[in-house]
Amino acid sequence: MGKTAARVAIACAAATCAVAAVAASNRLRQRANWSRAVAIVDEFREAFQTPMPLLKHVVDAMVAEMHAGLVREGGSKLTMLLSFVDSLPTGDEHGLYYALDLGGTNFRVLRLQLGGKNGRILNKEYQEVSIPPDLMIGSNEELFDFIAQRLGDFVAQEGEDYNPHGKIRELGFTFSFPVNQTSINSGHLLKWTKGFAIAETVGKDVVSELQTAMVRQGLQMRVAALVNDTVATLAGARYWNKDVMVAVILGTGTNACYVEHADSIPKWRSALPKSGDMVINMEWGNFWSNYLPKTQIDEALDKDSVNPGEQGFEKLFSGMYLGDIVRRALLKLAKEAALFGERVPSKLSLPFILRTPDVSAMHTDESSDLEETSRVLSSVFGIKSSSLQVRRLIVEVCEIVAERGARLAAAGIVGILRKIEGDCVANGVANGEVGKVNLANGELGKLIGNNKVNGRKTVVAIDGGLYEHYPKFRNCVDSTITELLGKDAAKDVIVQLFKDGSGIGAAFLAASHSLYR
């Protein structure tokens, strides 16, 4: 070998060594990153966990806060608003009724001809209208005129199958924004949400605004009931089943309502009929208890939100937030463990870019190479390649976040059931029917089982896209309710998806609060 050749050989060997050294160091770094990623996910699992004892505390806290919220205004973060719905549909309702459901970017109008117990719903028609975005931030008059006009157009199409029998047409108005209700058909708007921003409307009676607009449009119609989506869902489900006592919305947001005895509502005793039942709109999205597992991610999400410190329960699991909780978890993994390579994909930092249906798609991905997860990573974050190992970890993050949410929602529902059941027991005790029952002692399952009102089952009606379209979330809600109640007692509680109750329920309520009742 000549001198030159020897030099070349030495240089090549050195270069090979250097490349090997770099490769080895890369491997070491990757291994360290992967260990860090696994450790972070372990931390998530720990911080997001909701073991049974914790859930039972949440159940107790829900019961306590419900009582506190009923005692006086401001008594709890649960506002426990009176809905003024003191007469729920029975199925006996007769006649022609309309509903208007406004709760987002679309509104629905609905027409029903009811034929009583035997006929039930003789005819039903509806139409969906999307609201032009400029009207959502325009003037009060323009918005209500638009709604009244479209409602008028719909009324004008009333065919021969529908007959008002000379009566004034009546309407149930589902208005899913925060309202301070003053009677069954009046209430002042507290604030707009969901993209609406018309300052003029705030503080006004939304029923008067609608009635005035209807007059301007030459439409003769009476608003018989003003409700939100939760209360309308309860009414809609009650029409078919008299055992429905609770309704829960698990959609973009979350809320719950239930049937309460009027004499258990101290703060409104003077405003209420002497006896009977009243639907209470809990506004449970704002529920809070220190037992709720709030992680650093939840704290950051709340701090960055438009309403810090508010809607704490909702921010743990409603459809609006689940996606962003997962995104924040993935961002931490990208930053601290280079899960997607040395450069953090910039889209991971965009709030709300990952939506809850994407989380559902990844969580539900059962393909052997997690193809759907790949698709979401690519389409949402522009992450074009990832290892199967990484995708598995991401699916696990989805599971950790969704499971916590579903279990907390279930604990909330069981809290309501327990409040209802506790009242039955209290009444039973007063009547000397029920002996030494210790509510605080894990007797929950037994109570629900032993103290059914008149031996009937209790039905919980649930509506909302999160519950409807995310099967793993739904199954987890259902199974956790059973776990909390105990198998035997759970047999007496039926949890049921009740779709689109928010429109039809309002029409039923117009019937049960009709002038011609």
| Residue 285 or 415 having the CB closest to ligand ADP | 285
How buried is 204 (Cβ within 10 angstroms: 0-12 exposed, 13-18 middle, 19+ buried)? middle
| Residue 206 or 359 having the CB closest to ligand ADP | 359
Half-sphere exposure of 407 (CA within 13 A, CB side): 21
Rounded to a whole number of angstroms, the minimum distance from the CB of residue 467 to ligand ADP is: 8
How many whole angstroms from its chain centre is CA 32?
40
Determine the residue with CB nearest ligand ADP: 319
Strand arrangement, sheet containing 106-115: 121-130, 106-115, 94-102, 169-175, 221-227
Residue 337 identity: A
Rounded Cα distance between 73 and 430, Å, is 27
Tokens of 328: 């924040």
Rounded to a whole number of angstroms, the minimum distance from the CB of residue 465 to ligand ADP is: 2
Rounded to a whole number of angstroms, the minimum distance from the CB of residue 105 to Mg ion is: 11
Rounded to a whole number of angstroms, the minimum distance from the CB of residue 398 to Mg ion is: 23
| Residue 254 or 289 having the CB closest to ligand ADP | 254
Contact 89, 241 (CB under 8 A): no
In the list Mg ion, ligand ADP, none, the entry touching 66 (Cβ below 5 to 8 angstroms by class) is none
Phi then psi dihedrals of residue 96, to 5 deg = -100, 125
| Residue 101 or 421 having the CB closest to Mg ion | 101
Collect all residues with Cβ–Cβ distance below 8 Å to 105 and sequence separation of at least 6.
130, 131, 133, 136, 194, 195
Count of H helices and E strands in the chain? 18, 13
| Residue 206 or 376 having the CB closest to ligand ADP | 376
List, in sequence order, every beta strand (DSSP E) within 371-445.
none
DSSP 8-state assignment for residue 176:
-
Rounded to a whole number of angstroms, the minimum distance from the CB of residue 302 to Mg ion is: 23
DSSP 8-state assignment for residue 132:
P
Tokens of 8: 């070349």
Rounded Cα distance between 437 and 323, Å, is 42
Contact 297, 273 (CB under 8 A): no
In the list Mg ion, ligand ADP, none, the entry touching 360 (Cβ below 5 to 8 angstroms by class) is ligand ADP
| Residue 252 or 386 having the CB closest to Mg ion | 252
In the list ligand ADP, Mg ion, none, the entry touching 508 (Cβ below 5 to 8 angstroms by class) is none
| Residue 322 or 348 having the CB closest to Mg ion | 322
| Residue 352 or 516 having the CB closest to ligand ADP | 352
In the list ligand ADP, Mg ion, none, the entry touching 187 (Cβ below 5 to 8 angstroms by class) is none
What is the enclosing helix (H) or strand (E) of 188?
Answer: strand 186-189
DSSP 8-state assignment for residue 205:
B
Rounded to a whole number of angstroms, the minimum distance from the CB of residue 285 to ligand ADP is: 11
Contact 226, 181 (CB under 8 A): yes
Rounded Cα distance between 505 and 517, Å, is 17
Rounded to a whole number of angstroms, the minimum distance from the CB of residue 101 to Mg ion is: 8
Contact 213, 145 (CB under 8 A): yes
| Residue 286 or 356 having the CB closest to ligand ADP | 356
Contact 363, 406 (CB under 8 A): no
In the list Mg ion, ligand ADP, none, the entry touching 466 (Cβ below 5 to 8 angstroms by class) is ligand ADP
Rounded to a whole number of angstroms, the minimum distance from the CB of residue 474 to ligand ADP is: 10
In the list ligand ADP, Mg ion, none, the entry touching 124 (Cβ below 5 to 8 angstroms by class) is none
Rounded to a whole number of angstroms, the minimum distance from the CB of residue 319 to ligand ADP is: 2
| Residue 251 or 422 having the CB closest to Mg ion | 251
Residues of this chain that interact with ligand ADP (CB under 6 A) are 103-104, 251-253, 319, 356-357, 360, 464-466, 469-470
State the residue for tokens 């549909």: 89
What b/e string do you get for 325-340 counting C-beta neighbours within 10 Å, with b at 16 or more? bbbbbbbbbbeebbbb
Residues of this chain that interact with Mg ion (CB under 5 A) are 229, 251
| Residue 252 or 480 having the CB closest to ligand ADP | 252
Phi then psi dihedrals of residue 253, to 5 deg = -110, -170
Rounded to a whole number of angstroms, the minimum distance from the CB of residue 174 to Mg ion is: 9
Of all residues in the chain, what percent are helix, strand and coil, respectively (each to 5)?
55, 15, 30
Contact 28, 274 (CB under 8 A): no
In the list Mg ion, ligand ADP, none, the entry touching 170 (Cβ below 5 to 8 angstroms by class) is none
In the list Mg ion, ligand ADP, none, the entry touching 345 (Cβ below 5 to 8 angstroms by class) is none
| Residue 463 or 492 having the CB closest to Mg ion | 463
